[in-house]
Amino acid sequence: MSSDKPVAIVTGGGTGIGAACSKVLARDGFRVGINYIDIVEDSAKAVLAQIEDGFLLKADLTDADQIESMLAEIKEKAGRVDVLLNAAGISINKDINSMTLEDFDLQRAIVRGSWYLTKRILRLFMLRKNSGRIINISSVVGHSGNSGQIPYTMEKAALDAFTKSLCKELAGRNILVNSVAPGFIDTPMTQNLPEEVKKRILDSIPLGRLGDPEEIADVVSFLACRASYISGTVIHVNGGLYGG
């Protein structure tokens, strides 16, 4: 079903930062497609119940066939895409000696999936007369590094490089591409950290607290709705932890 209402697709939209972004984008007038995987289905349904206009998109981004099925579903349910937010991610925390090839390949598969989805969804942007916004959620640790997270930091740095390169490839097409690099945000990922690790993190943040997912979502909304002369940029939202 197509309409004149702008459509935002949010990968990883059922939990954490992705869930906050789904809600804020819906608040700001988008019809939101919430991508999720099996293990967070209940959470994704809860997010859908809290927004005015949206639909669910079950797909594992590590599987190209599932991405293709999701694209067909987007065409059927929305018929257009105005914003793509690549927010899906995982973090496998092991030092270099403990990390296996299987761990590394799983982490790498997420950024591969984000690249492939973006590549395929660009055709739906083209239907909108070459206009739209692509926003990638990266991380402060892609710039600062972090012990025990080498593949994760590599993935996030790759997303920022993807942002800058895709911006140049799409020059002249009125498709803006940007990254938002959160610092340490109050999500299940950080809530499960040992207390001594949390204290060390808090001591390193000039503002003295973790960020809220909604504070990331507000920046995403700015890029999706209002920023018209920003592209190829990484916006750091980290309480002063890293200056970029």
Instruction: Give the pLDDT confidence of 101-154 residue by residue, as tens digits.
Output: 999 999 999 999 999 999 999 988 866 666 899 999 999 999 998 888 899 999
Residue in 36, 116, 152, 229 annotated catalytic: 152
Per-residue pLDDT at 92:
85
Per-residue pLDDT at 157:
96
Distance CA 167, CA 214 (A): 26
Active site residue 152: yes
Per-residue pLDDT at 128:
64
Which domains are delineated in the chain?
A: 7-185+214-235 (3.40.50.720)
Higher pLDDT pick, 215 / 188: 215
154-176 pLDDT per residue, tens:
999 999 999 999 999 999 899 99
What backbone phi and psi angles, to 5 degrees, belong to 37? Answer: -120, 170
SS3 percent helix, strand, coil of the chain, rounded to 5, is: 45, 15, 35
Per-residue pLDDT at 123:
87
Burial 45-75 (b: 16+ CB within 10 A, else e): eebbeebeebbbbbbbbbeeebbeebbebbe
